[in-house]
Structures are given as C-alpha cells and as structure tokens.
Chain A
Amino acid sequence: MIAHLPILQVIIPLMAAPICLMLKRTQLVWLFSLLTSGLAFAVSVLLLQQVMTSGLISYELGGWQAPWGIEYRIDKLNAFLLLIISGISTIVLFAAQTSIEKEIPKDKHIYFYVLYLLSLTGMLGIVATGDAFNVFVFLEISSLSAYALIAMGKNKQALWASYQYLIMGTIGATFILIGIGLMYQMTGTLNMYDLSQRLPEVAQSRTVFAAFAFVIVGVCLKLALFPLHLWLPNAYAYAPSIVTAFFAATATKVAIYLLIRFTFSVFGLSFSFTTIPLQTLFMALGLIGIFVASFAAIFQSNIKHLFAYSSIAQIGYMIVGFSISSVTGLTATLLHLFNHALMKSAIFLALAAVVFRVGNVQLNSLRGLGRQMPLTMAAIVLGGLSLIGVPLTVGFVSKWYLLIALVEQGWWPVAGLILLGSMLAVAYVWRIVEVAYFKEPVGPPIKEAPMSFLVPIWALVIANIYFGIDTRISVQVAEAAAQSLFGVSL
C-alpha cells in the first residue's frame, strides 16, 4: 500500500469522479467527494513525510522501466505542492454544498462534483508525474474540467469568461505540447529526468531554444504572468464562488510548479538562467505585474475582480523570487506559494459566504457588512492583512524571505519596489474595510454566514496566523525543496 502512494494520490479522485454519477443524491455525492479529497490529502501527508525522511520516491507505472514507461517522481517540491492542493481542496469542499445551492441549478450539482474531482485529479497529476507528455495530458484534464466549472457561474458573463479562458488555455497547452514535441525530437525521450540528462548534449541547438521558449510562454500563460494575465480576472470573477476559492488557491500554483520544474529540473539552471536572459525578463515582468495589477485592483468595484487582480500581483511576487535564482529566492517563492494559497482561499471562501447571504460582491453591497456579518468580514480583513504582509501573518514571512533574498543579491531598488507594492495592497484592502466598517448598512438586515462556511473560513484564517508565527514547518519544507532543486541542477 505504502509503495503505491504516488499513484493512489492521482487515481483516487480520478476513480471517484465517475462513481459520483452513480450516487444520484446530491448530499451523498458531496460527502463522497469530501471523503475522496480527504483521502487524497491523507495520501499527500504520508508522501511528504516519506520524502522528508527518506528522500526521492520513484514509482514506475505498471512496472515498466523508467525512460520507457511512465514514471511518477515525488521529491520535496512536488510533495509540498500535492499537500497544498489536496489540503485546500478538502477545506473548500466543506463549504461547497451550501454555496452551490444558491449559485448552481439543482440538476447540475452532481456534475459540479464530478468536474471538481476531475480538476483535482488533473492538478495532482501534473504535479505528481515525472513524464513530460503525462503533464500535458493532466493539464488538459484539469483545464477542460475548469472551463466547464467556470461556465457554471450564474451570470451570463460566465460563459463568455469561460470561453475566453478556453481559448487562452488551449493556446497555452498547445505551446507546452509543441515544446515537449521539440524536446522529444531532439532527445527521443519524454521522461523528465532522462530529458535533463540528455538535453545538455544538444543544448546549443535552435530547436532546444525554441522548445524552451514555447514551454515557458505556455506555462506563463497558465500562471497569468503579466501581460498574459487578461483571461484571469473574468474567469475568477464569474465562476461559482467555490470554484474561485479552489482555483485561486491552486490553479496558478500548479503552473508555477511547472515553471520551476521545467527551468530548474528539465532544462537545468545553467541553461535557463545563463543562455537566455530569463532573469531580467522575469524580474521586469514580475515587477510590472505587481504594480499594474495592484493599481487595477484599487479601481475595481467587484470584490472578486479586486482580489483576482491582487492574485496577479501576488504571482508577480512569486516570479520576482523565482527570477533571483538563489536558494533564498526560490524558498521565498515556494513559501509564498503556500502562504498565498492560504490567504486567497480564506478570502474567496469568505466572499462565497457574502455571495450566499447578499447575492453579489459589488463594493456597494458591502456597506455596513462589518456589523452584520462580523465573522465573515473579519476573515476578509485578516486575509487582507496577510496579503499586505503585516507581521504575525503568513504574508509577512514570505515577503521577509523575498526581501532578504533581494538584499543578498544587493538589489536594493527592487526591494524598495516590493515594499511600495505592499503599500498598494494597503490601498485596496482599505477600500473594503472603509465600506464594510465605516458606512451605514443599506437594505434589509443580513444574517451572519452559516456554520458550514464559518468553520472552513476560520480554519484557513487561523492557519494564516499560525503559520505566520510558527514558521518551522512551512519554512523547513520550502527550504529543503529549494535546496534539493539547486542540488539537482548544479
């Protein structure tokens, strides 16, 4: 059983998805999905534990030997990611049943869970697999189910946003596929580890350059790096709230994982950062992304749009950390990956609760909500503080590491810009605080969100604070993952 953990991680939700169709009763399906996701989470905890103690796990699918058969390769980096994805998915699912009752027509509830589980499968698969083509397959599984999930939003714009995401997502996936194809042409292998061994021999060929460019652009599209972010705000804003909470915390993280995996493990540090001026390019795009998206966030009137733009800005921070290409910088990125998942899932779940009670998340509808839904709004404010990077929240920990990493390189101006970017976050979070706490409520009285929302929301908020104070676990894992990546590639 223990030996088969890597495949169980992916196969459990994959098998559970069709079973959902047979269960018929919505409540039952919800419980079953929750159970499945919980199981996946348990598996990921075991995997992480195993990786931290005994190192890399290589699992050969169907007993076929590695370069020919498909290999699942779990190291510290993807074990960490698996934990984030399955953990957030489980917590979000707690609130799912209550939330979709008001947002999705009753006859589609079961399909929602099926798609949700498929999407989860896709993300877990992308992270777990050690085979480049397998990455593409799982990418398509997660993306196709994501398009359908987003299209379930109750506004008619949801369809349009989903369509746009479909176009962009397909372009991204195609680019990745082209890149993988070019690599295959040059090396004759699809196994990532094998690729990393063979690529250096042919590293100076134009085909490999092109492969690299295609993969990177495709991945950047998926992770919504400025200026390829245009699809994200609408997709997040018009999707059902639960879907937003799930994707905001996980989908872009998976893309960042792919970016790290391809640049550090497959192409190798020396190729990625010396042959091509990736560092300057990513640093510039990351910084511009932080500022453009934060400014855009300040002027949004739909809170989901606001936090979607803020997500793009936060991705900018991760990219800046990535572009430093030092152990500390990568640690900062990985920490922020984890921390941002905690913040954004807390915030978007709280917004789901607001949608449940108020019906929309226009800034104007939030007037005086601080008194009517005190616990929900407090969660948004605490999540917002974490976004800003206030001490005692997780946001501070990752920003601190990012700043330290920049200081190590002597890039003071960039460190200054990062701090300035945080001030912009103050501005957009403050707009919500001002409306919710300093304006008189309008319309009929509104009740606090039900327990099925409050419990997961506050579990996440408390995690936000807990991991901001006790940083041992998150920092240790992120640091170990970053070190192992540098160890492999150097």
Chain B
Amino acid sequence: MWMIELPPFIPFFIGAIILLLTRGILRSAVMLAIPIVSAMHLWMIPEGIHLQFIFLDYQLTPYRVDKLSIMFGYVFHIAALIGIIYSLHLRDTMQQVSAMLYAGSALGAVFAGDLLTLFIFWELLAFTSVFLIWARRTQRSYDAGMRYLIIQVLSGVILLVGTLFYVSENNTLEFGYIGLDSVAGWLILIAFGIKCAFPIAHNWLTDAYPEATVTGTVFLSAFTTKVAVYALARAYPGAEILVYIGAAMTCFPIFFAVIENDLRRVLAYSLINQVGFMVVGIGIGTALAINGAVSHAFNDVIFKGLLFMSMGAVLHMTGRINGSDLGGLYKTMPKTTILCIVGAASISAFPLFSGFVSKSMVMSAALEEGFDWIWLMLLFASAGVFHHAGIKIPYFAFFAHDSGIRASDPPNNMLLAMAIAAALCIAIGIYPQALYSLLPYNTGYNPYDATHVLAQTQLLFFSALAFVWLNIKGLYPPELRSTNLDFDWIYRRAVPSALQQMFSVIWQADRALRESIKLRLKIYLSYFAGKNDRLSVLLSRNYPSGSMAMWVAVVLATYLLLSFIQ
C-alpha cells in the first residue's frame, strides 16, 4: 500500500502548521481535506500495534489500533469534519489552528497505547482547547478559560502521579485494564473522572463550554469528555462504583438544566447527563453494556454536536442565547428549527433516531444485571432529558412567546454541517446495524422489539404531557435571568471568602504584633540612641552582606554541631 502507518494526530498537527501559512480558500480546502484524508487512512489501517519505541527504559506505544480505539477514532474524524464545515465562515487563525490541534490531540489520546503518551495528549487536550474559549476575547471568557485550564491541568498532574505509582508497581507503562485494587488505580480514576465531569468535579464543563465561541463549543462538546469515556472503558470496565457515579450523573444535572436560562449551559448540563449513561454502561461492564456505552458515546458526539450547532446558530444570528430573550424564531429560521428538532429527538431517544438504539442497550444491560434501582434512575433521567433537551431547548428558542427577533437562517456552511449531523442521526436510528458492526463485541442486540419501543414511547409521551400541563398551569419554572448555584460556588465563592476572612484576621493580628514590636524597638532604640549615637547608626543601617555571612556561620555551626553530637 502507498501509505505509511502514521498515527492520526500527525496529519492534524501538520495541518495546523499549514493553516498558519495559508489564507482564504486554500486554507479552507486544507482544513476540509485533513479529516477526510486522515479518515481514509484510518479506514485502511488493520488492527494492531503500529508504532513502538523505547523511551527511558520503557516501551512506548503511540499508535495502537483495536476495536475500542478505532470506534472513537472514526467518530472523532466525523466530529472534526462537521465542526470544520460549521466553522468555515470564520476568519480567525487562532480558533482554526487550535481546533485542528485539539482534534489531533483527542485522536492521539485515543490511539495511545501507554500511559505516558496518554498523559501527553491529556495535557495537550487542555492546552489546545482553552484557546477555543479565549477566542471569544471577553474578560468573562478569559476567566472561565483560566478556571477550565487549571482544572484540566490538575487532572493531568493527578494522572501523572497515578502513572508513577502504576509504573513502580507493575514496571510497565502499558495502558490496559487498570482496576481499582491499588492506589494507582484510584488516582488514575480521579484523573479520568475530572475530565469525565464526575459529580462535584463537573463544574469546569458547565462553566467553560457556554463561554466558548459559537464554533468552539461544538468542538469542545465532541472531544474532551469522550476521551475520558474512552479511557474509562479501557481501564475500568466493570468497576461497580462507576454504576452509581454514572447514575448520579444522569440525574442531578436535570434539576440544574430545568432552571437554567442560558440555553447552551442547558446543553452543557445535558452533556453531563448523557455521559452519565456511558459511565453506567462501563460500570456494568458486560459486553452489552460496554457496547451501549461506546455506541452512545458515538451517537452523543453527533447529536450533542447538532444541538450545540443549532444553539450556536441562534447565538450567531441573534447575539442572544438566554431562553428569556428568545422565542418565535421558527418563523424566520425554519431550517435551523427542523434540524434542532432532529437533534432533540435523537437525544431524547425517540425510536428511529440515533439516541434510541444506543441508550436502550445500557438500560437493558442494567436490567439484565439486576441493577433495578439504577434502571429506575436511568428511566427518570431519560424523561428528564426529553424534558430539558428535547422540549425545552427547541420550545424556548424557536416557539414560546414571540420575542420579536427576526433573524434569518445561518450561513450555508453552518446549515450544511447541521444537515450532515442530522442525516447521521436519522440514518443510525433507522439502520443501527451499521453502527453495531463497528462495536467491540458482537451481541446480536436488536433495539426494535415491542417492549422497548412501547416503553420508550410511553415515557416520552407522558413526559411531554407533564411539560404541557405544567406550562399551562403556570407551574413550570419560568425562564429568568439568574445565576444558579452549583458546586463551583464552593471554590469560587465560599472558600475564597473564608480564606479572605481568615487572612484578614491573620493580617490584623500580624499588624498589631508588628506595631507593638516596633513600638518596643523604638523605645529601646531611643534609649540606646541617647546612650550612644554610634549604636543607633549600627542598628538602623542595612547590612545585607553581613546577614549573608551570618547565614554562613549559622549553617557551618549546624554542620559542626550535627557531626559532633552524633
């Protein structure tokens, strides 16, 4: 064959350099060509290890292809292509280059066969993506980006520490099943968990994603959390704790999403909810559950991207994104409305849409393994998703009261990107076998049996009914401009103000102490000054060299003392 076995991140990184040197149409062509060429390349690559070398006595494997990694490889290429089409109208080198590097880093992480390579791309993901947030060039986005960066880098550092533990125990860097029976396992789980937006560690996501640029959020939603899901699926399949963490992740964001006004933040919460389904699947760990988790990740990248794109289109055309400011846009943005509804139907798992074929796998697996309560939580979460992402998003943006905004549909490239995503959502929903054939395990699962379809449809209709009823009765939480308190209040408000108070007490005590000492000194000095003028000169003058020499004497004395005492 004509090709050399290049890890997929290399074309993206090279592409990023080319982008720096090109302008206009040429640059657009390069941007489009890279994911297509790279995807074709990946299509041809057989499974196995393709690149290995020794670094510091350890075997590094920067390129390893197997069923699990290639699945994510494909979807990341699709996401990159869609995102690039969506952002073709931009004239912003910083965003385009960093998006390209970001997509490349995600691919690098997914194909990493050892923990050190994984760590490198883990940190690169953080450093390349933060520019998509900063590219909005407001103080707010700068601050949010900084908080995002700090948390992401922290995750990387924890991963490095975990890796060190792992190496010292197992004497290998290979990235495979890790499990939770060692300190290393727990540390690495925490690192993955931060990137995966586990509860309490999730605020970087809802904080930063809505502050990114219109196009930046589309990229962000596709990669970071899915890399973490991949890593969890690789290292912790069947870890029961993940079932409970995942179930919590599916449920708690619903309450925040319902009261949130910024529609992109609503989507950010629903992203956590969807990732929760995947985490539950990984925690159950059976073939069916892992399949469900992986295929749901695949679908989520596409339909969550579609929803972020449609909300991005609204923000791009109207300059507003709060539910309270929008409404009635269906009249002038009909295409966006329809595409958004396709995304909403997919995320709500309507039969014949992509969400249905993957989410039901996780739920069936939960039932099969006897996690009845978890199954109920997931059911509640499904209803909740439909509620906030399936109904709330399109309803408040495109229908509800007429806000008087008369914005037209977005530029063609944006529409095209959304149309591709929508087509994929429907295609996978109608013909799931195409997706199933890529999955790591063969389970012969069929989502379209009577119980599933009926149960899901019932759920959806009652949920819709509840929304309509609440809305008519005026009981539904109104869209208000407000700041909703989440866990990040602890570290953004409570801890700083507590520290501030603590320090102000300390400073006061310190000041009082120094004042009193100074007073004493003054009294003594004036006493001595009266006695002896030369002494006061000695005391008030600065002798830095003398103080250094004193330190030398102190250290020498310590050494001598220590050696004589023993």
Residue of B nearest to A470 (CB): B55
Judge whether A301 is part of the interface by a CB distance below 8 angstroms: no
Stretch in A142-150, A185-193, A205-213 touching the partner: A205-213
Do A276 and B566 have beta carbons less than 8 Å apart?
yes
Do A423 and B157 have beta carbons less than 8 Å apart?
yes
Residue of B nearest to A214 (CB): B556
Residue-wise interface mask of A (381-401) relative to B, using a CB-CB cutoff of 8 A (1 in contact, 0 not) = 000000000111000010011
Residue of B nearest to A400 (CB): B56
Judge whether B549 is part of the interface by a CB distance below 8 angstroms: yes
Judge whether A168 is part of the interface by a CB distance below 8 angstroms: yes
Residue of B nearest to A206 (CB): B564
Q: What separation, in Å, do the CA atoms of A423 and B55 have in the docked complex? A: 24
Stretch in A13-21, A68-76, A109-117, A224-232 touching the partner: A224-232
Do A217 and B116 have beta carbons less than 8 Å apart?
no
Residue of B nearest to A419 (CB): B157
Q: What separation, in Å, do the CA atoms of A416 and B123 have in the docked complex? A: 18
Stretch in A86-94, A402-410, A451-459 touching the partner: A402-410
Q: What separation, in Å, do the CA atoms of A100 and B55 have in the docked complex? A: 41
Q: Which residues of A contact B165 (CB under 8 A)?
A: 407
Q: What separation, in Å, do the CA atoms of A216 and B555 have in the docked complex? A: 10
Residue of A nearest to B153 (CB): A426
Judge whether A171 is part of the interface by a CB distance below 8 angstroms: yes
Q: Per a CB cutoff under 8 Å, which of B55, B157, B549 touches A171?
A: B549
Do A475 and B56 have beta carbons less than 8 Å apart?
yes
Q: How far is the CB of B359 from chain A (nearest CB, A)?
A: 38
Q: Per a CB cutoff under 8 Å, which of B123, B545, B560 touches A210?
A: B560
Q: Which residues of B contact A400 (CB under 8 A)?
A: 56
Q: Per a CB cutoff under 8 Å, which of B120, B168, B555 touches A227?
A: B555
Q: What separation, in Å, do the CA atoms of A473 and B118 have in the docked complex? A: 25
Best-buried of B120, B153, B544, B555 by chain A (most CB within 10 Å): B555
Judge whether B161 is part of the interface by a CB distance below 8 angstroms: yes
Do B549 and A168 have beta carbons less than 8 Å apart?
yes
Judge whether A27 is part of the interface by a CB distance below 8 angstroms: no
Judge whether B507 is part of the interface by a CB distance below 8 angstroms: no
Do B563 and A175 have beta carbons less than 8 Å apart?
no
Do A164 and B56 have beta carbons less than 8 Å apart?
no
Do B562 and A407 have beta carbons less than 8 Å apart?
no
Q: Which residues of B contact A213 (CB under 8 A)?
A: 556, 559-560, 563
Judge whether A281 is part of the interface by a CB distance below 8 angstroms: yes
Judge whether A342 is part of the interface by a CB distance below 8 angstroms: no
Judge whether B547 is part of the interface by a CB distance below 8 angstroms: yes
Judge whether A65 is part of the interface by a CB distance below 8 angstroms: no
Judge whether A197 is part of the interface by a CB distance below 8 angstroms: no
Do A175 and B556 have beta carbons less than 8 Å apart?
yes
Residue of A nearest to B57 (CB): A475
Q: How far is the CB of A218 from chain B (nearest CB, A)?
A: 9
Q: Which residues of A contact B556 (CB under 8 A)?
A: 175, 213-214, 217
Do B160 and A419 have beta carbons less than 8 Å apart?
yes
Do B544 and A416 have beta carbons less than 8 Å apart?
no
Do A391 and B564 have beta carbons less than 8 Å apart?
no
Q: What separation, in Å, do the CA atoms of A469 and B55 have in the docked complex? A: 8
Chain A positions 281-303 with a Cβ under 8 Å from a chain B Cβ:
281
Q: What separation, in Å, do the CA atoms of A172 and B555 have in the docked complex? A: 12
Judge whether A270 is part of the interface by a CB distance below 8 angstroms: no
Chain A positions 237-288 with a Cβ under 8 Å from a chain B Cβ:
275-277, 281
Q: Which residues of B contact A141 (CB under 8 A)?
A: none
Residue-wise interface mask of B (525-566) relative to A, using a CB-CB cutoff of 8 A (1 in contact, 0 not) = 000000000000000000011011101101110111011101
Do A209 and B551 have beta carbons less than 8 Å apart?
no
Residue-wise interface mask of B (503-517) relative to A, using a CB-CB cutoff of 8 A (1 in contact, 0 not) = 000000000000000
For chain A, give the interface size range.
35 or more
Q: Which residues of A contact B547 (CB under 8 A)?
A: 230
Q: What separation, in Å, do the CA atoms of A487 and B428 have in the docked complex? A: 67
Do A276 and B563 have beta carbons less than 8 Å apart?
yes
Q: What separation, in Å, do the CA atoms of A416 and B544 have in the docked complex? A: 34
Judge whether B164 is part of the interface by a CB distance below 8 angstroms: yes
Judge whether B219 is part of the interface by a CB distance below 8 angstroms: no
Judge whether B236 is part of the interface by a CB distance below 8 angstroms: no
Q: What separation, in Å, do the CA atoms of A220 and B556 have in the docked complex? A: 10
Do A230 and B544 have beta carbons less than 8 Å apart?
yes
Contact flag A403-B562 (CB < 8 Å), given A228-B555, A391-B116: no
Q: How far is the CB of A95 from chain B (nearest CB, A)?
A: 28
Q: How far is the CB of B156 from chain A (nearest CB, A)?
A: 10
Q: What separation, in Å, do the CA atoms of A400 and B119 have in the docked complex? A: 13
Q: Per a CB cutoff under 8 Å, which of A217, A228, A392, A408 touches B120?
A: A392
Q: What separation, in Å, do the CA atoms of A230 and B544 have in the docked complex? A: 9
Residue-wise interface mask of A (441-478) relative to B, using a CB-CB cutoff of 8 A (1 in contact, 0 not) = 00000000000000000000000000001010001000
Judge whether A11 is part of the interface by a CB distance below 8 angstroms: no
Q: Per a CB cutoff under 8 Å, which of A275, A392, A397, A407 touches B563?
A: A275
Do A209 and B563 have beta carbons less than 8 Å apart?
yes
Q: What separation, in Å, do the CA atoms of A475 and B55 have in the docked complex? A: 10
Q: How far is the CB of B264 from chain A (nearest CB, A)?
A: 25
Q: What separation, in Å, do the CA atoms of A393 and B160 have in the docked complex? A: 16
Residue of A nearest to B160 (CB): A419
Do B168 and A408 have beta carbons less than 8 Å apart?
yes
Contact flag A231-B548 (CB < 8 Å), given A220-B555, A397-B56, A403-B164: yes
Q: What separation, in Å, do the CA atoms of A423 and B123 have in the docked complex? A: 14
Do B559 and A391 have beta carbons less than 8 Å apart?
no
Residue-wise interface mask of B (129-161) relative to A, using a CB-CB cutoff of 8 A (1 in contact, 0 not) = 000000000000000000000000100010011
Q: How far is the CB of A73 from chain B (nearest CB, A)?
A: 27
Contact flag A471-B56 (CB < 8 Å), given A167-B545, A220-B555, A407-B168: yes
Q: Which residues of A contact B56 (CB under 8 A)?
A: 397, 400-401, 471, 475
Q: Which residues of B contact A277 (CB under 8 A)?
A: 562, 566
Residue-wise interface mask of A (165-193) relative to B, using a CB-CB cutoff of 8 A (1 in contact, 0 not) = 00110011001000000000000000000
Residue of B nearest to A215 (CB): B559
Judge whether A221 is part of the interface by a CB distance below 8 angstroms: yes
Chain A positions 392-440 with a Cβ under 8 Å from a chain B Cβ:
392, 397, 400-401, 403-404, 407-408, 415-416, 419, 423, 426
Q: How far is the CB of B182 from chain A (nearest CB, A)?
A: 13
Q: What separation, in Å, do the CA atoms of A281 and B554 have in the docked complex? A: 14
Do B551 and A227 have beta carbons less than 8 Å apart?
yes
Residue of A nearest to B158 (CB): A419
Q: Which residues of A contact B119 (CB under 8 A)?
A: 391
Chain B positions 414-444 with a Cβ under 8 Å from a chain A Cβ:
none
Chain B positions 366-416 with a Cβ under 8 Å from a chain A Cβ:
none
Do A471 and B164 have beta carbons less than 8 Å apart?
no
Q: How far is the CB of A324 from chain B (nearest CB, A)?
A: 14
Q: What separation, in Å, do the CA atoms of A481 and B564 have in the docked complex? A: 32
Residue of B nearest to A423 (CB): B157
Q: How far is the CB of B147 from chain A (nearest CB, A)?
A: 14
Residue of B nearest to A422 (CB): B157
Q: What separation, in Å, do the CA atoms of A392 and B547 have in the docked complex? A: 42
Q: Which residues of A contact B167 (CB under 8 A)?
A: 404, 407
Residue of B nearest to A168 (CB): B548
Residue of B nearest to A220 (CB): B555
Chain B positions 205-232 with a Cβ under 8 Å from a chain A Cβ:
none
Q: Known pairs A175-B552, A209-B560, A419-B157; list 9 more (Cβ under 8 Å).
A: A167-B549, A210-B563, A213-B563, A276-B562, A277-B566, A391-B123, A404-B167, A407-B167, A415-B161
For the complex of A and B, the 5 pairs showing the least CB-CB separation, nearest first, are A213-B559, A209-B563, A217-B556, A407-B168, A391-B120
Q: List 17 A-B contacts (CB under 8 A).
A: A164-B545, A209-B564, A216-B559, A217-B556, A227-B555, A230-B548, A275-B566, A276-B563, A276-B566, A281-B562, A390-B123, A391-B123, A401-B56, A404-B164, A407-B165, A415-B164, A475-B56
